[in-house]
Structure formats: structure tokens, C-alpha cells
Amino acid sequence: MHNSKVKKEIPSMDQWLKEAKADQNALLEGMFLIHNGVVRKTPKVKVREGVDDGSVVVGMTFNYDAEKVDAAIEATYKMEGIFYVRTWLNEGELDVGDDIMYVLIGGDIRPRVIDALQFLVGKIKNECVVEIEQH
């Protein structure tokens, strides 16, 4: 697992899109989607399960397994119509409002790109990262 007290530099989505559109497969792509996960103050258990213990999130410890992320990216490239995948994950001690991750997917048609984004973000969140909310 990567771990660091220093927050990583946030990538430029303008630059990411410029690079994606310059990629060799750009002419096959009709859509790009970007996911930007951010540390929120509402606890996950309240948002997902409706359990409100009165606490709020004041930060998060976030780490990831780079090899598992790479494997998830490879699996995403195997999906039909997906030609471009790029990810950035933060690490260490994050504050509310800090970026957790960016994911960019490029593909031929909207349903495939939406499915690929859902697939990859889900895989990263469920299999590749450790998120510990601080209350």
C-alpha cells in the first residue's frame, strides 16, 4: 500500500482530455467521462445505509494497492468500445473537500463509457483501496 503524509498534486482535467484526444485511438472515441471522488463530511454509513450516529467526517486516511489498480484498468480495457483509461489516486491523510481520485474513460458510445466508468470506480473502491473516515 502507498502511504504518505504529503498530499499529491492534483492533475489537470483539461490536460488529461487534451492528451486523451491526441491518443492514437482518439478517432474511435465519441465520449469521455470523468469521475472525481472527494472526501465529504457526511459519513459513508449515513449516506449508504441511512444510519445517523450524529458524527461528521473531519478527514480520511486513504491508501491503495497500485498493482490491483493496474489490474482493474487492464480489465476495463477489455470491455467493448473502451479505448482510453486513466486514473489518479491520492494517498495519505486527506481533509474534507480533498480529491480522493480521478478516473477518465474514453470510448465509442455513451452506454459503454458509462458502464466502464461504473465498473472501474466500483472495482477500485471495493478491491483496491483502504478508506478510513476520521470522525
Predicted TM-score (pTM) of this structure = 0.90
Q: Which residue would you say has higher pLDDT here, 1 or 58?
A: 58
Query: Using 50, 70 and 90 to split pLDDT, how confident is the model at 5?
Result: low
Domains in the chain (CATH in brackets) are 30-134 (3.90.1170.40)
- Run of H or E residues at 106: strand 99-107
Sign of CA dihedral 50, 56, 61, 64: positive
Cite the DSSP H helix spans in the chain.
Answer: 13-22, 44-49, 66-77, 110-123
Q: What is the DSSP string of 107-125?
A: ESSHHHHHHHHHHHHHHII
Quote the pLDDT of residue 4.
47
pLDDT digits (tens, 9 = 90+) for 22-56: 999 999 999 999 999 999 999 888 878 888 888 89
